[in-house]
Amino acid sequence: MTHSVQQDKKSVWHHLTPHQIFDHNDPLVMVKGEGMRVWDINGKEYLDASSGGLWTVNVGYGRTEIADAVREQLLTLNYFAQTAGNIPASEFAEKLIEKMPGMSRVYYANSGSEANEKAFKMVRQIAQKKYGGKKRKILYRERDYHGTTIACLSATGQEQRRDHYGPFVPDFIQVPHCCEYRSQWGEVEDYGIRAANEIERVILEEDPSTVGALCLEPITAGGGVITPPEGYWQRVQEICKKYDIILHIDEVVCGLGRTGKWFGYQQYGIQPDIVTMAKGVASGYAAISCTVTTEAIFNMFKEVEHDAKMDYFRDVSTFGGCTSGPAAALANLNIIERENLLENADKQGKYLLSLLHGLQEKHSIIGDVRGLGLFAGFELVEDRQTKVPVDESVSAAIAAHCMKQGVLIGRTNRSFALFNNTICLSPALIATKQDIDDIVHALDCALTEVVAETK
Ligand code: PMP
């Protein structure tokens, strides 16, 4: 065992990890990345189909252009609070807004959770100051995830992630998920409309004058890669307009090209009021997140003199927007644009999905295949008729087999007990046809072996 592994075993508390596994195994320690590939401390090479384990490294590893931009910025001005401006923060904000017609202002922070917290605080301040405390309820969806803080967990529809950490923040209300494969209402025509109408039902039950915002992932990520059913988003937008509800879209996973457009919501022709983003904003070269709002939302915090009850946004983040984060984000965005990575994500994503449908024909353990762009998942079931999810150990074994073959994949895990059976794929947007072939070949072998082993 190398010294670093010893140090890790002795001193590091890993995220989302039952540490007893290290009584008999060594932790995986990563040391290097280049393009689509990473190497661990033992020199083993992996093709990374998970973009760093958590859907993050959109432009791939080893980008000197981003590293140089960060280095130059640190040497020019490493820090000054966002109460003042700085050059990369304004340059990136302007470029980002260009990609988001209808959106207007960028509020910086450091992680997806924080970006969502800022959005919730905006909604709560609007509720208090503009509506005298009404319209403070925030709706969120079963199976969606919005982050790790107590408020974000209050808005998270995954019981296993939440249940140790209550009590939660009041006035967060859950609406049903929209996974047609797991339809709550049996086989229904127009499932998408039905699932969206359920949101309206909850709004009416709660009283529309008390509901301020609806916070949704464009495609549910960690909750099982749930692509929205036909008609869903258009109906959701109508409902928000009808009841004057702020539509907050959490693009922490889908943002910056993952689905083949700049943002996931742009796949559905809708117009949000607030958009949050993090992971792909700087592809992991810096910790940065953004809460982007319309001018109408921004103005509510600005026109204080016209509305004595309103106030500016009393929020701050020491590191948000300062200064290497936006420098990395700007270089990252330039790469996505210059290398046409949206087109590549769209093209290779379609190819990936077609291969996964091929795997589904071959392996009856695959119940459902879902995805858009370089963002895909498939559900493993014991039986296609009953759709009973496989035990978590089966998806774990498939991930382990892929890893043995030098391919890193993701999966929904213990944190989501009911549907912990989804294999998740999110290769970097630079993936080639050969990379996709290699990923799917590893999956094919893993499925064959694991199914044989469990018989
Ligand atoms: N929203 C979504 C949709 C996410 O998937 C995540 C992280 N996996 C978050 C928010 C939280 O982001 P972070 O871990 O950067 O706080």
Rounded to the nearest whole angstrom, what is the distance from the C-alpha of residue 59 to the centroid of ligand 1? 18
Cis peptide before 167 (omega within 30 of 0): yes
Q: Which atom of ligand 1 is nearest to the CA of 289?
A: 15
- Topology (CATH) of 65-338: Aspartate Aminotransferase; domain 2 (3.40.640)
**Is the CB of residue 235 below 6 angstroms from any atom belonging to ligand 1?**
no
Rounded to the nearest whole angstrom, what is the distance from the C-alpha of residue 117 to the centroid of ligand 1? 11
User: Domain limits of the chain?
Assistant: 3-59+340-454, 65-338
Q: Per residue in 131-167, pLDDT tens?
A: 999 999 999 999 999 999 999 999 999 988 888 999 9
The average confidence (pLDDT) of the chain is 95
Counting residues of the chain whose pLDDT is more than 90, the rounded percentage is 90
**Is the CB of residue 250 below 6 angstroms from any atom belonging to ligand 1?**
yes
Burial of 166: CB neighbours in 10 Å, binned 0-12, 13-18, 19+: exposed
Q: What is the mean pLDDT of residues 93-112?
A: 98
**Is the CB of residue 280 below 6 angstroms from any atom belonging to ligand 1?**
no
Per-residue pLDDT, 304: 67
Q: Per residue in 386-420, pLDDT tens?
A: 999 998 889 999 999 999 999 999 887 555 445 67
Q: How many CB atoms lie within 10 A of CB 54?
A: 18
Q: What is the mean pLDDT of residues 238-248?
A: 98
Distance, in Å, from the CA atom of 115 to the CA atom of 278, rounded to the nearest integer, reads: 8
Considering only CA atoms, give the Rg of the chain: 22
Distance, in Å, from the CA atom of 157 to the CA atom of 175, rounded to the nearest integer, reads: 9
Reported residue count of the chain is: 455
Distances (CA, A) of 232 to 51, 148, 218: 28, 27, 11
Rounded to the nearest whole angstrom, what is the distance from the C-alpha of residue 358 to the centroid of ligand 1? 31
Rounded to the nearest whole angstrom, what is the distance from the C-alpha of residue 96 to the centroid of ligand 1? 20
Q: What is the mean pLDDT of residues 74-85?
A: 97
Nearest to 267, CA basis, from 276, 254, 283: 254
CATH, domain 3-59+340-454, list 3.40.1350.10, 3.30.420.40, 3.20.10.10, 3.90.1150.10: 3.90.1150.10
Distance, in Å, from the CA atom of 27 to the CA atom of 19, rounded to the nearest integer, reads: 9
Rounded to the nearest whole angstrom, what is the distance from the C-alpha of residue 155 to the centroid of ligand 1? 12
Place of tokens 């992630």: 161
Nearest to 66, CA basis, from 326, 256, 342, 252: 326
Counting residues of the chain whose pLDDT is more than 70, the rounded percentage is 97
Per-residue pLDDT, 307: 65
Rounded to the nearest whole angstrom, what is the distance from the C-alpha of residue 279 to the centroid of ligand 1? 8
Answer yes or no: is pLDDT of 288 > 90. Answer: yes
Please give the structure tokens belonging to residue 74: 């640190």
Q: What is the mean pLDDT of residues 370-383?
A: 97
Q: Per residue in 2-47, pLDDT tens?
A: 989 999 999 999 998 889 989 999 999 999 999 999 999 999 999 9
**Is the CB of residue 278 below 6 angstroms from any atom belonging to ligand 1?**
yes
**Is the CB of residue 153 below 6 angstroms from any atom belonging to ligand 1?**
no
Please give the structure tokens belonging to residue 162: 């939440």
Helix (H), strand (E) counts: the chain: 13, 15
Buried/exposed 219-254: b ≥16 CB within 10 Å, e otherwise: bbbbbbbbbbbebbbebbbebbeebebbbbbbbbbb
Rounded to the nearest whole angstrom, what is the distance from the C-alpha of residue 99 to the centroid of ligand 1? 21
Distance, in Å, from the CA atom of 328 to the CA atom of 332, rounded to the nearest integer, reads: 6
Q: What is the DSSP string of 50-98?
A: SIIIII--TT-B--HHHHHHHHHHHHH-----TTS--HHHHHHHHHHHH
**Is the CB of residue 111 below 6 angstroms from any atom belonging to ligand 1?**
yes
HEC profile of 152-219: HHHCCECHHHHCCCCCCCCCEEEECCCCHHHCCCCCCCCHHHHHHHHHHHHHHHHCHHHEEEEEECCC
Is the pTM above the cut of 0.95? yes
Q: Per residue in 297-343, pLDDT tens?
A: 999 998 766 666 778 999 999 999 999 999 999 999 999 999 999 99
Pairing of strands 407-408, 45-48: parallel
Q: Whose CA is nearest to atom 13 of ligand 1?
A: 112
Per-residue pLDDT, 159: 86
**Is the CB of residue 379 below 6 angstroms from any atom belonging to ligand 1?**
no
**Is the CB of residue 147 below 6 angstroms from any atom belonging to ligand 1?**
yes
**Is the CB of residue 50 below 6 angstroms from any atom belonging to ligand 1?**
no
Q: What is the mean pLDDT of residues 46-69?
A: 97
Residue among 146, 156, 275, 281 whose CB has most ligand 1 atoms within 8 A, to mutate: 146
Per-residue pLDDT, 413: 58
Per-residue pLDDT, 187: 94
Rounded to the nearest whole angstrom, what is the distance from the C-alpha of residue 151 to the centroid of ligand 1? 13
Distance, in Å, from the CA atom of 105 to the CA atom of 94, rounded to the nearest integer, reads: 9
299, HSE (Cβ side, Cα atoms, 13 Å): 7
Residues 6+ apart with CB under 8 A from 156: 140, 144, 145, 146, 147, 162
